[in-house]
Amino acid sequence: MELDVVELSRLQFAMTAMYHFLFVPLTLGLSIIVAIMETVYVMTDRPIWRQMTKFWGTLFGINFVLGVATGITMEFQFGMNWSYYSHYVGDIFGAPLAIEGLMAFFLEATFVGLFFFGWDKLSKVAHLVVAWLVAIGSNFSALWILIANGWMQNPVGAEFNPMTMRMEMTSFYEVLFNTVAQAKFVHTVSAGYVTASVFVLGVSAWYLLKGRHIELARRSIGIAASFGLMSALSVVVLGDESGYTTTHDQKMKLAAMEGMWETEPAPASFTLIGFPDQEARDTKYAIHIPWVMGLIGTRSLDTVIPGIAQLVDESEDRIRSGMIAYDALMTIRADRGEVAQDIRDRFETHSDDLGYALLLKRYVDDPREATDEQIAQAAEDTVPTVWPLFWAFRIMVGLGFAFIAVMGYFFYLASFKRMQFPRWSLYFGVAIIPAPWIAAELGWFVAEFGRQPWTVDGVLPTALSVSHLSVGDLLITLAGFVTFYSILFIIEMGLMLKYIRKGPFQDVEETDRWIARHEHRLRTHDGNVPGAVPAE
Amino acid sequence: MILHDLLSFELLRVIWWLLLGVLLIGFALTDGFDMGVGALLPFVAKTDNERRVVINTVGPVWEGNQVWFILGGGAIFAAWPPLYAVSFSGFYLAMFAVLAALILRPVGFKYRSKRESAAWRSSWDWALFVGGAVPALIFGVAVGNVLQGVPFYLTEDLMPIYDGTFYWKFLALLNPFAILVGLVSFGMLLMHGAAWLTVKTEGVIADRARTIGAVMGLIAMAGFALAGVWLAFGVDGYAIVGAVVADGPSNPLHSEVSRESSWLAAYSARPWIAIAPVLGFIGMAMAIRGLRSGGEVSTLLWSKLGILGVISTVGLTMFPFILPSSVDPKSSLTVWDASSSHLTLFVMLVVTVIFMPLILLYTAWVYKVLWGKVTEDDVTANSDSVY
């Protein structure tokens, strides 16, 4: 890989985005889990639930702040590193980002301070409302970000304006209710819920292994396993929905994810495993399952899913069509729009393919002068590198199913076996803590790497989207981010571990008062007061 | 959709120019005192408990305040995409420095008191100082450069191109006029931070804040006056040549711009705008007086008025220019040629009209709940839960 501005900008964006997404899924899920715990506290008035809310809330806070801080980088990096992208699609892409701030981020950020500082200043119910507002705000944030991202995958509700040389919004409604965005939103927030559930479950399992904070840990596992099971099921179901929309709107990404080199007769088979070979256009040692791909991808028996070879041919046609649009555009631009109707019409007819002509800019300054070889090469460029997508996708899906099994098992033990967890299962619970993060990052990798060579699918090539910067600029900021983010990561992990080891703050007096008040109700038939008190 | 024709393109552009001002001023008024407090931290508070008091005055509100900044970025992206594209990439390394400082600050607030070690805490105190002082200075430096024009041009494809190599670009930002404007914003935000501390703290911390805040206010006032004189004699203004097309397509290359005029010509064309600098001076002078004479809430309000006046001055002086180009004046971005489309501006306005009042309402409620002084007793009594 050459160290050019495009590659370095991609590397920096990928790095900072994936780093940001280390904190986001936990924020999404933990905000809800904490709000659920506080709801139980308000309903039952049992101090243990308040202690749980505060304990998990502290971990939430340590994580949240880095999510916020690294999110600033995301908001600014489009302009810093992707200035032509910002100009070209800002009219559409900027809107959901700004609305995210207005509708969601203000809400969560304004109330999160009150969540930590308002315990003594607010009534119980008011504080509970605050907790839910933080959770709702966080999740709404994700909605708007995924509407923005969904538009990059499936650019609806917009058209190119030759007078301003950019895409402009034609229908806010279409941008908002973009099927890809909606499917991605539910898939992504569910993944966040799974992440938080696995985290809560894992930390609680560790307490049980150590014999500490038994009451807190058991109740936490109860919440995490039931919430986690629901979420793990929805991640997979909605991931399937996401895949279904991909079949319609991002055919090349689907073909690359699945290593489908040639078009198969419907219903296509699913390649469970294999070794994709880009040059030979073949997947070696493949294990196929008949029909499955066709069924999942099209939900029908007779719809054909196009393979990579066919899609490359289609790309070539679209490049040639785009060259006509580009030619008309140059005339319109030169004459400031004062051109004959037939040129306008020609542009309108071919403008959907304009982005394909821009693919040629990698090889020639003026796409109209491209040779047949360059056109063929540009068509070939529309195929992303297959093997990382193929594998990342399979690992993600495998983990998704594994989470259903794990959550199901813990849910079963928690509900029907009186929380008697075998020690091996607790060790396993601790060991899988990193797994949801791996799945989430791989998911983003599939979505974004699979969209290459485009930043906006079919509209704007990545190579054209960057800022006019030097390699030196990029190396300075890249080194800066790596150093700075690594230090922050070490600090964050250190604090997380410190506060997990420290455990919840147990207000013994408060607990005793509560037991005294409720003793008559708690006493079991043999006269013992059951474990309302934390174990130590 | 026909609905968006209810408001003309021209009117929407002016409204979004105003809203851009509202966001920047909102940012300076709220996040401004966070930055001021951060930059003042090592000087107004000496012991650990004093420092915790100072940090906890902003502890519960900095997150919400910071959203003004993030929303500012998002709104510029949505309503003024060329401005977003040109300025963020053009000030690349300066933006990186701001980013690093702004990341350091939230983390500093949150993590500083989570360990006992004195070295840990003192490192974060300096991180908070950097996180407050660096952006306070750089924002002003950026404005100073915008007033002089920035060396960019747009290609026919409207791709922004910058002249010069990276270190030159970075160092060229630090010219004398820009540094002067940087000092104005630095002094102004530190004064504002000090005014906040007089409301939220008492005793020795408040006393120190009053002394330093008054000095900072004087620096800001003197710098503001000097910058005005400098604009009159040392900096070229920009003007659109020929008829102004206010509802044309957003393509800066469609208009001609000259550098013959002075920025201060705006004051003879629209004399009423002189109210902005006047408010700036009055606000800052009264805030300094309040800092010296023991005023609390009133001092903070005067300080807010001063900031409002100073920022409005910049916007009104430059109108309709947003980002002039020094190397290719034709590429300059103005209110009339650097906005989003008619539809996008309309949709964004509808969303803003719905949510901005809500935001102001619940933010006010949160400040009300948290009203009152932070004392050393508060910090020691709740040592585990506060910052």
Question: Is A267 part of any domain?
Answer: no
A175 and A98 inside one domain: yes
Please report, for residues A530, B19, B105, B133, B191, the alpha-carbon distance to residue B24 in angstroms, rounded to integers and kept in the order given: 58, 9, 19, 18, 18
Question: Is A405 part of any domain?
Answer: yes
What is the identity of the amino acid at A36? I
pLDDT value, residue A83: 94
Answer whether B99 sits within 8 Å of A101, measured CB to CB: no
Query: How confident is the model over A435-453, as pLDDT tens digits?
Result: 999 999 999 999 999 998 9
Give the integer Cα–Cα distance in Å for A200 and A204: 6
Mind telling me how many Å the CA of B295 is from chain A's nearest CA?
26
User: Which is more confidently placed, B286 or A287?
Assistant: B286
CB distance from B122 to chain A under 8 Å?
Answer: no
Coil, strand or helix at B382: coil
Question: Is A273 part of any domain?
Answer: no
A365 and A417 inside one domain: no
Give the integer Cα–Cα distance in Å for A391 and A202: 26
CB distance from B22 to chain A under 8 Å?
Answer: no
Structure tokens at B268: 């003879």
Q: How confident is the model at residue B87 (pLDDT cuts 50, 70, 90)?
A: very high
For chain A, 536 residues long, give each residue's pLDDT as a single digit of tens: 457 999 999 999 999 999 999 999 999 999 999 999 999 999 988 888 999 999 999 999 999 999 988 998 999 999 999 999 999 999 999 999 999 999 999 999 999 989 998 888 899 999 999 999 999 999 999 999 999 999 999 999 999 999 999 999 999 999 999 988 888 899 999 999 999 999 999 999 999 999 999 889 999 999 999 999 999 999 888 777 777 777 777 888 888 888 888 888 878 888 888 888 888 888 888 888 877 777 777 777 777 888 888 999 999 999 999 999 999 999 998 888 788 888 889 999 999 999 999 999 999 999 999 899 999 999 999 999 999 999 999 999 999 999 999 999 999 999 888 888 899 999 999 999 999 999 999 999 999 999 989 999 999 999 999 999 889 889 999 999 999 999 999 999 999 999 999 988 766 777 777 777 776 666 555 555 544 444 33
- What H or E segment, with its residue span, contains residue A461? strand A460-461
Give the integer Cα–Cα distance in Å for B64 and A68: 11
Q: Nearest Cα to B206, choosing from B218, B198, B195?
A: B198
Last residue of a domain, one of A363, A381, A399: A381
A391 and A435 inside one domain: yes
Mind telling me how many Å the CA of B92 is from chain A's nearest CA?
6
A363 and A451 inside one domain: no
Whether the per-residue pLDDT at B384 is higher than 80: the answer is: no
Distance from the Cα of residue A263 to its chain's centroid: 30
A376 and A442 inside one domain: no
- What H or E segment, with its residue span, contains residue A272? strand A270-277
For residue B170, give the chain A residue with the closest CA: A473
pLDDT value, residue B166: 57
Answer whether B103 sits within 8 Å of A72, measured CB to CB: yes
A169 and A318 inside one domain: no
A239 and A360 inside one domain: no
Burial (CB count within 10 angstroms: exposed 0-12, middle 13-18, buried 19+), residue B222? middle
Question: Is A469 part of any domain?
Answer: yes
Question: Is A491 part of any domain?
Answer: no
User: Are the CB atoms for A403 and A194 separated by under 8 Å?
Assistant: yes
pLDDT value, residue A389: 92
| CB under 8 A, 24+ apart: contacts of B92-95 | B92/A80, B92/A467, B92/A469, B92/A473, B92/A477, B92/B166, B92/B169, B93/A473, B93/A476, B93/A477, B93/B166, B93/B169, B93/B170, B94/B138, B94/B141, B94/B142, B94/B170, B94/B173, B95/A76, B95/A79, B95/A80
pLDDT value, residue A531: 47
pLDDT value, residue A532: 45
Structural domain containing residue A165: 5-250+384-475
For residue A98, give the chain B residue with the closest CA: B74
A127 and A38 inside one domain: yes
| List of chain A residues whose C-beta atoms are within 8 Å of the C-beta of residue B356 | 102
Mind telling me how many Å the CA of A450 is from chain B's nearest CA?
26
Q: What is the largest CA-CA distance in chain A?
A: 95
Please report, for residues A30, A261, A278, A439, A458, the alpha-carbon distance to residue A401 in angstroms, rounded to integers and kept in the order given: 21, 27, 28, 11, 33
Question: Is A458 part of any domain?
Answer: yes
| List of chain B residues whose C-beta atoms are within 8 Å of the C-beta of residue A169 | 340-341, 343-344, 347
Please report, for residues A293, A306, A310, B302, the alpha-carbon distance to residue A264 in angstroms, rounded to integers and kept in the order given: 10, 7, 11, 74
Coil, strand or helix at A455: strand
Q: Nearest Cα to B320, choosing from B263, B276, B272, B249?
A: B263
Structure tokens at A93: 């892409």
Burial A445-482 (b: 16+ CB within 10 A, else e): bbbbbbbbbbbbbbbbbbbbbbbbbbeebbebbbebbe
Coil, strand or helix at B161: strand
A229 and A360 inside one domain: no
The count of domains in chain A is: 2
A219 and A104 inside one domain: yes
CB distance from B77 to chain A under 8 Å?
Answer: yes
The size of chain B, in residues, is: 387
Mind telling me how many Å the CA of A461 is from chain B's nearest CA?
14
Q: Nearest Cα to A38, choosing from A111, A101, A142, A106?
A: A111
Whether the per-residue pLDDT at B327 is higher than 80: the answer is: yes
| List of chain A residues whose C-beta atoms are within 8 Å of the C-beta of residue B138 | none
In sequence order, what E strands does chain B have?
Answer: 152-154, 160-162, 239-241, 256-258, 321-323, 333-334
A353 and A417 inside one domain: no
List, as ranges, residues 59-98 from A with C-beta within 8 Å of B.
61-62, 65-66, 68-73, 75-76, 78-81, 83-84, 86-87, 90-95, 97-98
Question: Is A485 part of any domain?
Answer: no
pLDDT value, residue A290: 79
Give the integer Cα–Cα distance in Å for B386 and B377: 12
Answer whether B95 sits within 8 Å of A121, measured CB to CB: no
Burial (CB count within 10 angstroms: exposed 0-12, middle 13-18, buried 19+), residue A14? middle
Question: Is A344 part of any domain?
Answer: yes
Q: What is the interface pTM, i.e. ipTM, of the complex?
A: 0.92
Last residue of a domain, one of A352, A381, A410: A381
Q: Which residues contact A530 (CB under 8 A, 6 or more apart)?
A: A522, A524
A110 and A223 inside one domain: yes
For residue B114, give the chain A residue with the closest CA: A495
CB distance from A468 to chain B under 8 Å?
Answer: yes
Whether the per-residue pLDDT at B344 is higher than 90: the answer is: yes
Q: How confident is the model at residue B110 (pLDDT cuts 50, 70, 90)?
A: confident
